[in-house]
Amino acid sequence: MLANRKLLTMETRDIGIVMNGVTGRMGTNQHLLRSILAIIKQGGVHINPDLTLMPKPILTGRNSNKLASLAEGMAVREIGQKLPYTTDLPGAIAGKHGECEIFFDASDTLRRVEFVQMAVEAGRHIYCEKPTATNTADALKLAKLVENAKLKNGVVQDKLWLPGFRKLAMLRELGFFEKILSVRGQFGYWVFTGLGLDQPAQRPSWNYRAADGGGIIIDMFCHWQYVISNLFGPIKSLVAYGSTDLPKRRDEQGNIYDADADDSAYAIFVLEDGTVCQFNSSWCTRVRRDDLLTVQVDGTKGSAVAGLRDVVVQSAAETPKPVWNPDIPQPIDFFRGWQTVPDNIEYDNAFKVQWELFLRHVALDEPFRWSLREGAKGVQLAELGMQSWRQKQWLDVPAL
Ligand SMILES: NC(=O)c1ccc[n+]([C@@H]2O[C@H](COP(=O)([O-])OP(=O)(O)OC[C@H]3O[C@@H](n4cnc5c(N)ncnc54)[C@H](O)[C@@H]3O)[C@@H](O)[C@H]2O)c1
């Protein structure tokens, strides 16, 4: 009798989400497969024994066949049911193809403003990929639009939930570093030009064309902005230099094109408390480090090197004493003097963790601080980086 009464009060609240640009790399792998379908597969977001949030995606894009293969192929394989899909984006946003509370966009960067604006006009909550725009004015315009319309909004800042960065945050909270002196980020790997035999490019070609919203500065500085400000503190000023190292590449259709966007960038960010953060980003570098992104933090009482998942640490007491002497083989094995930080919890997919927080924000009004305004700060940092490079000068970061 009691059990029956309990069953009656259990609620599964459906949340309609238009997922746009879902046939792309990020849309398919991180947002549909590893986030939304994974959430559906686990039975939704369990809030409490009486309430579960269940995402109800509608897939949108330009190519019906590609959408069908996700909505009828991947979805059936993953969750045992088909998903609705349509090429009619305005109709989907208007709710003609099913309930829609949230508009999500992972299309390429250039179209973000137009799509988000359309969804704001229809009163949908907004969640989208970074960068939110290719310039600060547009990014800020979007932030103000959603704020004025009092819509819930968020931007993907997935790196914050990578195990490596969670562990850095934990070390900092534990006081492991004492005073953090400097941070060094090394990001990148070799992205094939597609010009060589049997070495096809592994990233979409628009990323290497300036007119299509490409460029490593607009791509990566958005990440560095939220990584640095959340882990180490607000950025006061920066100096940056970019370069187009490989000016010719081959696109998805096999055509050779002018890759005129910056494909490597070098920046120093100085934080309000004086901490120096230098970040190298490159699609033209071969990896000889622990991971595709590594961040070394040097503090007075200890240092740490974070990869995407693992972090190693060396405390003051374990620090060896190197002596400069190139006449003998190096007597110290520098890689051995580090300890691995254990996995004390199970880390879920970073995109999925943020999706769950956003769904809770929409349904339950829980706080969610990774807003379009925060996203605009990333675009601002990228724009200032390009300006610093062009003008060959240090620039301060104005408050947004
Ligand atoms: N958070 C991250 O770590 C991360 C990583 C890579 C890319 N991104 C961002 O995600 C976005 C997508 O990048 P990607 O690497 O997946 O690129 P991609 O080229 O693989 O995907 C873009 C998708 O947008 C679609 N698209 C283009 N025009 C469209 C339109 N008019 N209507 C609907 N769909 C349209 C394309 O068909 C494609 O499916 C970019 O803004 C990029 O900056 C974020």
Q: What is the pLDDT of residues 138-152, one digit of tens each?
A: 999 999 999 999 999
CB 373 near ligand 1, within 6 Å? no
Mean pLDDT of 165-177: 98
Give the pLDDT confidence of 34-79 residue by residue, as tens digits. Answer: 999 999 999 999 999 999 999 999 999 999 999 999 999 999 999 9
Amino acid (one-letter) located at 382: A
User: Helices 372-391 and 216-231, interaxial angle, to 10°?
Assistant: 120
CB 354 near ligand 1, within 6 Å? no
According to DSSP, the residues that pair with 17 across neighbouring strands are 57, 102
Question: Tell me, what's the pLDDT at 9?
Answer: 75
Closest residue by Cα to atom 29, ligand 1, is 107
Question: Tell me, what's the pLDDT at 148?
Answer: 98
Mean pLDDT of the chain: 97
Give the pLDDT confidence of 241-284 residue by residue, as tens digits. Answer: 999 999 999 999 999 999 999 999 999 999 999 999 999 999 99
Instruction: Quote the pTM value.
Output: 0.95
Q: 3-state class of 150 per DSSP? A: coil
CB 62 near ligand 1, within 6 Å? yes
Cα 320 to ligand 1 centroid, rounded to whole Å: 46
**Has residue 2 got a pLDDT over 90?**
no
Closest atom, ligand 1, to C-alpha of 63: 37
Instruction: Output the CA torsion sign for 85, 12, 76, 33.
Output: positive
The CA distances from residue 139 to 116, 153, 183, in Å, are 11, 13, 28
Quote the CA–CA distance of 120 and 124 in Å, as a whole number.
Answer: 6
Candidates 108, 191, 216, 252: which one to mutate for ligand 1, based on the most atoms within 8 Å of Cβ?
108
The full set of domains in the chain, from first to last, is 2-158+351-367 (3.40.50.720), 159-348+378-395 (3.30.360.10)
In percent, the amount of the chain with pLDDT more than 90 equals 97
Closest atom, ligand 1, to C-alpha of 203: 15
Candidates 74, 88, 107, 223: which one to mutate for ligand 1, based on the most atoms within 8 Å of Cβ?
107
**Has residue 195 got a pLDDT over 60?**
yes
Cα 111 to ligand 1 centroid, rounded to whole Å: 9
